[in-house]
Amino acid sequence: MLTGVLGWPVAHSRSPAMQNAAFRAAELDWRYVKLPVPPELFAETVRTLPGSGYRGANVTIPHKLAALDLADEASDAARAIGAANTLTFADGSIRADNTDAGGFLAALGESPRERTALVLGAGGAARAVVWALQDAGAADVAVWNRTPQRARELGARAVERPEPADIVVNATSVGLQDDDLSSLPLDAIGAPAVACDLVYRGDGSATPFTVWASRTGARVVDGLEVLLRQGALSFEIWTGRAAPIEAMRKEISPHT
């Protein structure tokens, strides 16, 4: 049985190593592969996957909105968020789910109830984080994006510049390929209690956002932990089994 991750780019993804470790631990004869697909070929490619032996696929930048649009059915979370990161192929149909929201909350490790939050970015991942924070009872959720109109579309309070908050989440792609933080005006944020970066690097090295967050004294949640938690939920959707989380974590840990 095949699964994979659809993205553009997708070369840095640690999902194949993590999910293949999970399949081995669960003694399943499944395989997970990278599927680099440009936006103009996304819909066509997805529709060919079931006939090629695929049970499902994760979806990453920049396809999360398109994934929901082409699905035949979708979970309540995916509909509410307006984006999907997990597709399942069964009985001739495509089902869309969003494990970014649940994965983010699990990685956060504490309830955001009655706490303030700032989300940097307004793409598909940011949509999931905003929805998760609001659904979990955050007192206030602010969104900053270089394009203010996109921030306003997420259903949270849009801000012109980043501002202090208990929880700060980087949902932009800044730091994915370089160390330049200049496009994120972080000087006014101060010292959050918790800082979460959805970005991670293939070699497991620290991102510039997590380096900044550590210097402020914040408790840091890195992108690998978020990846682990959303990947575990995807595994459970596809297989109907509990995810072997420790085997998955060990595979992607930069210390192993």
Q: Quick check: is 250 catalytic?
A: no
State whether 112 and 73 are in the same domain: no
The pLDDT value recorded for residue 255 is 58
For residues 133 and 101, what is the distance between their CA atoms, to the nearest angstrom?
Answer: 8
The pLDDT value recorded for residue 35 is 98
Q: DSSP readout, 29-93?
A: --EEEEEE--GGGHHHHHHHTGGGTEEEEEE-TT-HHHHHHH-SEE-HHHHHHT--SEEEEETTE
The pLDDT value recorded for residue 16 is 97
State whether 107 and 214 are in the same domain: yes
- The domain in which residue 188 lies consists of 102-221
State whether 121 and 216 are in the same domain: yes
State whether 145 and 85 are in the same domain: no
Selecting among 14, 55, 64, 229, the annotated active-site residue is 64
Label the pairing between strands 31-36 and 2-7: parallel
State whether 170 and 247 are in the same domain: no
State whether 200 and 120 are in the same domain: yes
State whether 33 and 137 are in the same domain: no
State whether 110 and 64 are in the same domain: no
The pLDDT value recorded for residue 253 is 86
The pLDDT value recorded for residue 178 is 75
State whether 32 and 74 are in the same domain: yes
| β partners of residue 35 | 6
Count of structural domains, the chain = 2
The pLDDT value recorded for residue 181 is 86
From first to last of its 256 residues, the chain has per-residue pLDDT tens of 999 999 998 998 999 999 999 999 999 999 999 999 999 999 999 999 999 999 999 999 899 999 999 999 999 999 999 999 999 999 999 999 999 999 999 999 999 999 999 999 998 889 999 999 999 999 999 999 989 899 999 999 999 999 999 999 999 988 877 778 888 889 889 999 999 999 988 777 899 999 999 999 999 999 999 999 999 999 999 999 999 999 999 999 875 4
State whether 110 and 42 are in the same domain: no
How many residues are listed for the chain in this entry? Answer: 256
State whether 197 and 230 are in the same domain: no
**Domain of residue 77, CATH code:** 3.40.50.10860
State whether 117 and 166 are in the same domain: yes
**Domain of residue 209, CATH code:** 3.40.50.720
